[in-house]
């Protein structure tokens, strides 16, 4: 199970790092073009904030456990990313973007699996 949790955490970290870096490093117009029309509803600072949270969450899933410094931060990062996915699902749900809600639900479930495993029976 430890290998599975590392694999899921690595997948989530890669996805959130790419998504967050895009929001953090690109201007709003490019974020809207690449991520979708939902981004038009948010000011540029909010998009940068979301991107920063995603990047920090991605780093927090892997780095603390990999270097064995405060490994308890890994499940905390997973919970943080799960909260981000709840917000994303609400945003997409209000806009009627059911395909995006389904993606958010899958990422939410994966983040919760990592949090459960690392807080519970497979803690570091």
Phi/psi of residue 17, each to 5°? -65, -45
> What's the confidence (pLDDT) of residue 79?
98
Question: Which band of pLDDT confidence, cut at 50, 70 and 90, is reported for residue 121?
Answer: confident
pTM, entire model:
0.92
> What's the confidence (pLDDT) of residue 32?
94
Whole-angstrom Cα distance, residue 50 to residue 73?
Answer: 19
Max CA separation in the chain (angstroms): 44
Mean pLDDT taken over the chain: 95
Question: Which band of pLDDT confidence, cut at 50, 70 and 90, is reported for residue 97?
Answer: very high
Residue 118 contacts residue 78 (beta carbons within 8 Å): yes
| Residue extents of the structural domains in the chain | 2-119
């Amino acid at each position: 199970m430890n290998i599975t949790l590392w694999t899921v955490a690595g997948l989530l970290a890669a996805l959130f790092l790419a998504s967050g870096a895009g929001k953090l490093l690109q201007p709003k117009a490019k974020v809207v073009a690449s991520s979708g029309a939902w981004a038009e509803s948010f000011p540029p600072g909010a998009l940068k904030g979301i991107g920063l949270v995603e990047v920090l969450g991605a780093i927090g899933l892997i780095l603390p456990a990999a270097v064995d410094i405060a490994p308890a931060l890994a499940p905390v990062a997973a919970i943080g990313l799960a909260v981000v996915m709840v917000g994303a699902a609400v945003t997409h749900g209000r806009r009627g973007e059911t395909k995006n809600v389904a993606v958010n639900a899958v990422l939410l479930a994966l983040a919760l699996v990592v949090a459960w495993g690392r807080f519970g029976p497979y803690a570091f």
